[in-house]
Amino acid sequence: MLSKRQELILKLTVEEYVKTADPVGSRTLSELLEVSSATIRNEMANLEELGYLEKTHTSSGRIPSDFGYHYYIETILSDKDNFTDSFTVIDELFSNKDIKRDEAIKQAMNLLSQMTNYTTIALGRSAYGSKIKKIELLPLYENVALLIIVTNLGHVESKNIKIPFNTDIEDMKRVIEIFNDILFDCPISKVSEKLHYEIDKQKIKDMLIYNKSIIDAFLDAFTKFTQSDYYLAGQSKMLNQPDFKDISRVRELLSFFEMNDIFKLVENTTNTGLSVTIGKENSVNAMRDCTVISVPYQLSGTEKGTIAIVGPTRMEYQKVIPLIKYLAAHMTKLYKE
């Protein structure tokens, strides 16, 4: 347990570092606290030994560690910090009844990115945990059909698929019949594995061996079903952060964004409340200097979506956390209307 003075020193170190992006020295804190540099230096050394601060190679000053940031967020910060002026803009956006839900969410992500100068993400409904109850195929026009999947949650998902050239639509329908037999009650996330297993069985192997292109078309559609609806804003905001001057690190991070792997990372965060993943806690190397803050919002029944902010570990936590929680509450209201 830190003393009141140590907590104050940690708080000021975090906030000064967030503001300047420069390691914080004892002289700076001495001026802020009107305490001798020697006293501050000793306390900072103790905080470093306890794992809350760390030294950089290029300066005698110190910066918060991932552990120090967590203590700052979980113990020092309070939702009572006065950032309510920013929330008026969010209220105005969601009070506009002329904007459709999808457009409101898109604008909200852009607004949040502008207000924080970080990358923002909204994940909607995902079919990943759904089970198949029925598959139908509806020909639309030449070489295009509508694949319809009814899930156990009562959702009807549909995707346009390209029909391979010279394919008989009756062959497609027979394949659908087989799929209905072998995929009934199968989780959508397991479709590919299940199909490959069943195809090896002789009784359907002969039927499907001549329809590989059809199967590939279906597998591509099922892959898309397992992906969440998502909105992404401010990917290039990272380039404006002094933390990302190293070109190779920036390339690695932007590549991670471009491959949409960031959505998988956000999907794996908790859906029970605020989640803050800092620095090396991220499982992906490209994100080792980043923080991901995510909050769930209610879609319907037991289903939840997620909104998230991605920025440097040197993030304005005292501003971002109240904002993202407030926005999540608005998103929940949006789905109740």
List domains and CATH numbers for the chain: 4-76 (1.10.10.10), 84-125+229-336 (3.30.450.40), 132-225 (3.30.390)
The tens place of each residue's pLDDT in the chain, 337 residues long, gives: 899 999 999 999 999 999 999 999 999 999 888 889 999 999 999 999 999 999 987 667 899 999 999 999 999 986 555 555 568 888 888 888 888 888 888 899 999 999 999 999 988 766 556 788 998 888 887 778 888 888 887 777 777 877 777 777 777 777 788 888 888 988 876 777 787 777 666 555 655 555 666 667 677 776 666 665 778 898 888 778 888 888 888 888 888 877 767 777 776 665 678 999 999 998 888 888 999 999 988 877 667 788 999 999 999 999 999 999 999 988 888 877 6
Measured CA to CA, the distance from residue 333 to residue 337 in angstroms comes to 6
> Which pLDDT score is estimated for 250?
80
Measured CA to CA, the distance from residue 83 to residue 85 in angstroms comes to 5
DSSP-derived 3-state class of residue 61:
coil
CA dist 217 → 125, 141, 260 (Å): 23, 16, 21
Q: What is the pLDDT of residues 199-215, one digit of tens each?
A: 666 555 655 555 666 66
Single pTM value for the model? 0.73
Radius of gyration of the chain (CA): 26
> Which pLDDT score is estimated for 227?
60
CA dist 103 → 93, 98, 133 (Å): 10, 10, 31
